[in-house]
Chains A and B, each alone.
Chain A
Amino acid sequence: MTFIQLVLSGLALGAAYALVALGFVFIVNATGAVNFAQGDFVMAGGYTAIFLTSTFSIPMVLLLPLVAVITFVMGVFLALIAYFPLMRRPPATVFISTLLCGMILQNLFLIGFGPQAKSGPALLGTGMLRFEGLEISRQSLATIVVAAALIGLQYLIFARTQIGRRLRATAEDRDMAEAVGIPAKKLIAVTFGIGASLAGIAGALLANQYFVSPTGGIPLSVFAYIAVVIGGWGSLAGAVLGSMLISIFQVIVSAYVSYAVATGALYAAVLLIFLVRPQGIFSERVQRRA
């Protein structure tokens, strides 16, 4: 495959990962907590898609919205169990609690769907599109389009609307947000819901070409973490950019050498970034005035 072809494949993967990382960074911004079950929500989205299409005959156009809603509810549930009871504790505690919830989810997948990897439904039908000597699968195209639309929507909401401002204010100072009339706890639950939902959509989009398995979410949680660190902790643009970079890097190195080397090189690169620019590419750390 040519270099450009590889980049194209990486873009589709990156688009999906960008959703995962974006959901991850929302939760980080809103609560300061790292959601280590993010990858498991991706699997949840894939499994939900598989379940819905195999049990009911759902028109494809309804599938993504349904997955979004179901995983949204799961996210709210996670907030209720793993976050709110531990709100006032050090952030490391929530890291652990989300880890544990992820573990419980994985076990549920195992019981419900068995240990074998499964493939999910194709959203725009299977088959490839060809132009200018490059080809891209319909699914990949669908992924890029959906992801771009969601990212754009998210940006607009956060920057231009009252609810977006309220979400940002809640993320910066929850108590003060309540003191200006914002129902902070509800918004935090919504944030978890959105974060999980984005991951779920990504999972449904990826399920066709990449398999869904009970423990398949773990490396994805790590990827989201890495993407957000590379892009700059707390930066939404950074999360998107970081994901794209990681995916393209992975796809290219995997093609030329091997997946193992790609992963190893990725981590080595991350460590190098820490040495050189620890705050990531877009550091959105709010500086304190002198």
Chain B
Amino acid sequence: MKYSPVTRAGGVLAKGIRLPVAFGALALAAYGVFFADPYDLRILTVCGVFALLVIGFQFIFGHAGAVSLAQATFFGLGAYVTGVLGATYDFGFLLTFPLSCLIPALLALIIAVPVLKLEEHYFALATLGIGLVVVLVAVQWQEITGGTNGLPGVPSVRFFDLEIRDRRELFIFVWLLVVLGAFVAYQVTRGLYGRVFYLVRESHAAASCLGIDVSALRFGAFILSAIYGGAAGALMAHVIRVVSPENLELPVMVTCLTMTVIGGRRRIAGAIVGAILITYLRESFRILENTTLMAYGAVTLVVLIAAPYGLIGAIERLRARFLPEPIEAPPPMQPLNLAVDTEHRDHRPLLDIDNVSKSFGGVRALEGVSLKLGRGEVVGLIGPNGSGKTTLVNIISGLYEPDRGQLSFNDTAITRRPPHVISRLGVARTFQHINLADELTALDNIALGRTTRERASLWRSILTLGLDPRLQRARCTAVGAAELLGIADLAMSPCGALPYGTRRRVEVARALATEPELLLLDEPAAGLNEEEQRDLAQRVRRIADHGVTVLVIEHNLVFLRSLAERLICLDHGQVIASGHPEEVQRNSAVIEAYLGREEAADEILAIEERAS
């Protein structure tokens, strides 16, 4: 996979092509306002409607990464609300338009709760199902909706004393709304919060363990897509002056998907380009009559295959290949505040695990495990493969729920609480398999650890004008975290291009950026050479000296020896030894289970040799 550094996240275009795109936009606008004939104006207006639809769709499909098939449903609903209220009850625009946005949002709200928790293909089907039910209702509820024939006579846009009468005015009006919609999309996707989407797409678990409420994020994206869909539908009703079940049906969804895929699923400019291109394509293929759909399908397929990031994405990548952007300098460093409050430190344990058991199907992963971590301790968790170490860490961080037993952190019960809540209490972790957003720079990946501390959110992103201060601050603190891990000079490279050892350190830095009280490291030394291991152990030791409590899962006894004050050994899901490293390594049960009798002698000798 080729990594293209994304220095502008989300909907924002890469630097190099902004000027030409802006130029193109202005040219098109000028054409529409001054030169286009009524037929062209109509088409360009429809382009605008679809552009709005697709920008909305990008929130859930492109950014949140969930295949929603409900976009046409929101579109059709918005159209119907405007149609029914406008044609039958003669409501004005100021009433029909907000309602057209609100009612789809309400539907999204109702179905979001059960549906958003579903895995990808289930979610897609559920949204499809909702859509098909709504179509049925629209067709059956003939008194209100006009059944299969629909409702004619949708009024033009009217508010205050203004009435939009001709096509030119409508064109301008619709595109003004598109600009507004684009602006909001830009706000949402540009800053710290915008970068969160990248990690959510990569791994829900990793994002949750940074304190990010993934469900809330997807929920927000879904609601936004519904609002935009409804708005687009309302405008369509005003443009074609009739509403019918066609607006709700699968072909509209296919059109929306096609435009998104062709234009580019994350770039705002991509939504607009996709909308314009596909609309014009369909129009020009109309002359082919019978073979329209076939030609249109074939062309779309070709673009789909040739341009995986859509046309806009392809242009960006071409430019990056031939005129690459230089790597920027990192922002000024802001040191991490890791000093844990030592005043109130008493001798109560920081983490208290009481009799925790967990089974997967028939396999007993953990059985009656109890342990306590004192504040400021560095503890190593060892044990043979399959002994339950990672399961235990997954339970502590909230990714699994224990079948039995209790856990408490800082005297707060954390049993069965979701990972993002546990993270916010002060627990951070790394994973055995590194989960980083490869398209972002290492620095931005680390900065994601600051999401909770900076209280980045959807609303705040929209309401903050100009450059996102949260992102700036987060990046400065990220530099501080990078320094602690010795990777500050590599921080501005795209993560995907960095070697394994550095990526491992980026992950640790990201966890550290949350300024946790408890740091859980899952096999941090795996894949590192001896020099890298020594270096990492030293750095972790320094971090612990600040007062952070550390629990390290490792096989590598040499690594742990320089780091851990205490070792806990698991075997077949049970604690079989706990204590000073030397004691544990001489414990016969440990030797039997983990080291193998013969090996123990070698290992112990080697360690003692190196220590002397």
A residues bordering B, Cβ < 8 Å? Answer: 34, 81-82, 85-86, 88-89, 91-93, 95-97, 99-101, 103-104, 106-108, 110-111, 218, 222, 225-226, 229, 233, 260, 263-264, 267-268, 270-271, 274-275, 278, 287, 289-290
B433 to chain A, nearest CB (A): 11
Q: Are B125 and A229 in contact (CB under 8 A)?
A: yes
- What is the bound-complex CA distance between A226 and B124, given in angstroms? 11
Q: Are A82 and B293 in contact (CB under 8 A)?
A: no
Task: Give which listed residue, B114, B257, B291, contacts A96 with CB less than 8 A.
Answer: B257
Q: Are B122 and A107 in contact (CB under 8 A)?
A: no
Task: Give which listed residue, A82, A222, A271, contacts B126 with CB less than 8 A.
Answer: A271
**B558-587 interface mask toward A, CB cutoff 8 Å, 1 = contact, 0 = none?**
000000000000000000000000000000
B359 to chain A, nearest CB (A): 9
Q: List 18 A-B contacts (CB under 8 A).
A: A34-B121, A92-B61, A92-B120, A96-B257, A99-B257, A100-B304, A107-B291, A107-B294, A226-B129, A229-B125, A233-B122, A260-B136, A263-B132, A264-B133, A267-B130, A278-B119, A287-B361, A289-B363
Q: Are A104 and B294 in contact (CB under 8 A)?
A: yes
- Which residues from A are CB-within-8-Å of B61? 92
Q: Which of B93-126 contact A (CB under 8 A)?
A: 111, 114-115, 117-122, 124-126
Q: Are A93 and B308 in contact (CB under 8 A)?
A: yes
**Besides A89-B308, A106-B293, 10 other A-B contacts (C-beta < 8 A):** A34-B124, A97-B305, A99-B257, A103-B294, A104-B294, A108-B294, A225-B125, A226-B125, A264-B137, A278-B118
- What is the bound-complex CA distance between A289 and B359, given in angstroms? 10
Q: Are A229 and B122 in contact (CB under 8 A)?
A: yes
Q: Is B89 an interface residue (CB 8 A)?
A: no
Closest 6 CB pairs of A and B: A290-B365, A107-B294, A290-B391, A267-B129, A103-B297, A107-B293
- What is the bound-complex CA distance between A267 and B129, given in angstroms? 6
- What is the bound-complex CA distance between A108 and B297, given in angstroms? 12
Which A-chain residue is minimally distant from B113 (CB atoms)?
A275
Task: Give which listed residue, A85, A93, A111, A287, contacts B261 with CB less than 8 A.
Answer: A93
Given A34-B121, A218-B250, A274-B122, A290-B128 contact (CB < 8 Å): no
Q: Which of B27-83 contact A (CB under 8 A)?
A: 61, 67
- What is the bound-complex CA distance between A265 and B391, given in angstroms? 41
Given A218-B250, A229-B122, A267-B132, A101-B291 contact (CB < 8 Å): no
Total contacts A-B at CB 8 Å: 115
- Which residues from B are CB-within-8-Å of A101? 297, 301
Which A-chain residue is minimally distant from B129 (CB atoms)?
A267
Which A-chain residue is minimally distant from B137 (CB atoms)?
A264
- Which residues from B are CB-within-8-Å of A260? 136, 139-140
Which A-chain residue is minimally distant from B364 (CB atoms)?
A290
- What is the bound-complex CA distance between A289 and B132, given in angstroms? 39
Task: Give which listed residue, A106, A268, A290, contacts B133 with CB less than 8 A.
Answer: A268
Task: Give which listed residue, A106, A233, A271, A287, contacts B129 with CB less than 8 A.
Answer: A271
Q: Are A111 and B293 in contact (CB under 8 A)?
A: no
Q: Is B386 an interface residue (CB 8 A)?
A: yes
Which A-chain residue is minimally distant from B358 (CB atoms)?
A290
Q: Is B612 an interface residue (CB 8 A)?
A: no
Q: Are B390 and A290 in contact (CB under 8 A)?
A: yes
- What is the bound-complex CA distance between A106 and B254, given in angstroms? 14
Q: Is B360 an interface residue (CB 8 A)?
A: yes
B288 to chain A, nearest CB (A): 10
A131 to chain B, nearest CB (A): 38
- Which residues from B are CB-within-8-Å of A270? 125-126, 129
Which A-chain residue is minimally distant from B391 (CB atoms)?
A290
Which A-chain residue is minimally distant from B67 (CB atoms)?
A92
- Residue from A96, A222, A270, A275 with most neighbouring chain B CB atoms (10 Å): A96
- What is the bound-complex CA distance between A91 and B300, given in angstroms? 17
Q: Size class of B's contact patch? A: 35 or more
Q: Are A96 and B261 in contact (CB under 8 A)?
A: yes
- Residue from B125, B261, B308, B391 with most neighbouring chain A CB atoms (10 Å): B125
- What is the bound-complex CA distance between A146 and B298, given in angstroms? 35
- What is the bound-complex CA distance between A19 and B227, given in angstroms? 40
- Which residues from B are CB-within-8-Å of A93? 261, 304, 308
- What is the bound-complex CA distance between A234 and B460, given in angstroms? 41
Given A82-B301, A264-B136, A290-B386, A103-B121 contact (CB < 8 Å): no
- Which residues from B are CB-within-8-Å of A104? 293-294, 297-298, 301
- Which residues from A are CB-within-8-Å of B111? 271
Which A-chain residue is minimally distant from B69 (CB atoms)?
A95
**B301-315 interface mask toward A, CB cutoff 8 Å, 1 = contact, 0 = none?**
100110010000000
- Which residues from B are CB-within-8-Å of A95? 67, 124
Q: Is B229 an interface residue (CB 8 A)?
A: no
Q: Is B342 an interface residue (CB 8 A)?
A: no
- Which residues from A are CB-within-8-Å of B121? 34, 229, 233
Which A-chain residue is minimally distant from B308 (CB atoms)?
A89
- What is the bound-complex CA distance between A270 and B386, given in angstroms? 37
Which B-chain residue is minimally distant from A33 (CB atoms)?
B121
- Which residues from A are CB-within-8-Å of B137? 264
Which B-chain residue is minimally distant from A276 (CB atoms)?
B114
Q: Is B430 an interface residue (CB 8 A)?
A: no
A62 to chain B, nearest CB (A): 31
Which B-chain residue is minimally distant from A92 (CB atoms)?
B67
Q: Are B126 and A290 in contact (CB under 8 A)?
A: no
Q: Which of B352-390 contact A (CB under 8 A)?
A: 358, 360-361, 363, 365-366, 386, 388, 390
A116 to chain B, nearest CB (A): 15
- Residue from A100, A101, A104 with most neighbouring chain B CB atoms (10 Å): A100
**B282-301 interface mask toward A, CB cutoff 8 Å, 1 = contact, 0 = none?**
00000000111110111011
Task: Give which listed residue, B1, B304, B390, contacts A86 with CB less than 8 A.
Answer: B304
Q: Is B258 an interface residue (CB 8 A)?
A: yes
- What is the bound-complex CA distance between A85 and B306, given in angstroms? 9
Task: Give which listed residue, B120, B128, B139, contacts A222 with CB less than 8 A.
Answer: B128
- What is the bound-complex CA distance between A99 and B301, given in angstroms? 10
- Which residues from A are CB-within-8-Å of B125? 225-226, 229, 270
Q: Are B301 and A100 in contact (CB under 8 A)?
A: yes
Q: Are A274 and B291 in contact (CB under 8 A)?
A: no
Given A96-B257, A97-B304, A100-B304, A263-B114 contact (CB < 8 Å): no
- Which residues from A are CB-within-8-Å of B1? 88
- What is the bound-complex CA distance between A267 and B126, given in angstroms? 8
- What is the bound-complex CA distance between A290 and B392, given in angstroms? 9
Q: Are B254 and A103 in contact (CB under 8 A)?
A: yes
Which A-chain residue is minimally distant from B395 (CB atoms)?
A290
**B123-152 interface mask toward A, CB cutoff 8 Å, 1 = contact, 0 = none?**
011101110110011011000000000000
Q: Are B290 and A111 in contact (CB under 8 A)?
A: yes
- Which residues from A are CB-within-8-Å of B254? 99-100, 103
Q: Are A111 and B291 in contact (CB under 8 A)?
A: yes
B112 to chain A, nearest CB (A): 12
A65 to chain B, nearest CB (A): 29
- What is the bound-complex CA distance between A246 and B291, given in angstroms? 35
- Which residues from B are CB-within-8-Å of A275? 114
- Which residues from B are CB-within-8-Å of A99? 254, 257
- Which residues from A are CB-within-8-Å of B390? 290
